[in-house]
Amino acid sequence: MASLGNVQSDSEEHITYDDQQKINKFACCNTRLDDIKKDLETKETELNNLGDAEDEIMIALDTDEKVPFLVGEVFVYKTQESATEALAKEKEIITVEIARLKLKAAEFESSMGQLKADLYAKFGNNINLEA
């Protein structure tokens, strides 16, 4: 007959449906936050490139020289002034988009912080919510 002395009591927390929903929501938020961070990095690179292009136009060209400007898949020749205006508008659009992405990232981080606090309070070191 086998000995029952080796049976251990179940001291781990059981995961409820509500806990699973929180874990799933945290995972979704984490994935979306990663996507937003990638988009944010891309937008910031675009903004830097537009600033560099604007500087190059100012330095390298005469005021009456035409500038090739990419619109979709086609280059259109613009005057230095209209190219600079177009770059400024594009920079403004990207700056607004960056601000929107940062706000969205902050919302996800806040939500994740609350979920993380709730889950660590219940499960302690038995759960890992780090990237």
User: Model's pTM, two decimal places?
Assistant: 0.78
Which CATH class name applies to 18-123? mainly alpha
**Among candidate residues 114, 110, 119, 131, the one with its CA nearest the CA of residue 23:** 119
The domain spans of the chain are 18-123
Angle, CA 90 vertex, CA 103 and CA 85 arms, to 5°: 140
pLDDT, averaged in runs of 10, over the chain (131 residues): 41 82 95 97 96 85 78 87 91 97 97 94 87 67
